Amino acid sequence: MTAENVVPLRTAPRIDRPRAERAVAELLAALGYPVEGEHRAMTPQRVASAFAEMLTPSAFLPTTFGNDEGYDELVVAREVPFRSLCEHHLLPFYGYAHVGYLPGSRIVGLSKLARVVEHFAAGLQVQERLTQQVADWLAGHLGARGVGVVLEAEHLCMTLRGVRARGSRTVTSALRGELRTDARSRGEFLALTRHAQC
């Protein structure tokens, strides 16, 4: 695995909290809810804190190990919970990720599959891009023979407003390497994710 094959982790954005708080206060006033009284006095600070938390990716060390035993079958983490913010409406979308890979010379600590999802989910996202980012990072970092990612999510921008299709979920997938080109491996991965109870 060469350095150019490794997809880097994202860096945290620079957040100007006082400016964000002023913007929230201005937005609320423009919508007819000025920051007055006991209940809304701290709302700008709370909203700025909440968005800062949701938009900041957590750092982690992507621990990998040599595949000394030569394990060559699928490794799948199902129903990894995640949440993100729709970049079109600034409303959350949340659900489950199913992440799998066919090991090559390296294997990854299992918690890191969830950490990669969490890392790329932090920020303003669209589900299609998030799915690809997780798959591309794992494929590049692990040198895996194949990578598969399926995301199932409910988008509040679709369930709380607009069409208000409550309970509907959007499913996206990204397949790399043998999980894309080998029908048997692809079928096994998709069968394992299809039976997840989301």
* 162, 27, 54, 122 alpha-carbon torsion, rounded to 10°: 60
Query: Which entry of 45, 132, 157, 198 is annotated as an active-site residue?
Result: 157
Residue 31 C-alpha from the chain's centroid: 31
At residue 175, φ and ψ (nearest 5 deg) are -120, 135
Token pair belonging to 87: 């970049």
155 is catalytic: yes
Question: How far does the chain reach from its first CA to its final CA, in angstroms?
Answer: 35
Is 198 a known active-site residue? no
Give DSSP secondary structure letters for 89-118. Answer: T--EEEEEEEEEEE-SSEEE-HHHHHHHHH
Catalytic-role residue among 26, 36, 53, 88: 88
Query: Alpha-carbon torsion 77, 146, 67, 82, what sign?
Result: negative
> Do residues 70 and 187 lie in contact, with contact meaning Cβ atoms separated by under 8 Å?
no
User: Which one is catalytic: 127, 141, 152, 188?
Assistant: 127
Catalytic residue from among 36, 53, 79, 87 = 87
List the catalytic residue out of 21, 86, 118, 133.
86
The question of whether 87 is a catalytic residue gets the answer: yes
The SS3 call for residue 146 is strand
State both tokens at 194: 């299809």
Do the beta carbons of residue 37 and residue 28 sit within 8 Å? no
Among 45, 89, 132, 198, the active-site one is 89
Out of 98, 119, 141, 155, the active site residue is: 155
Provide the annotated active-site residues: 86-89, 127, 155, 157
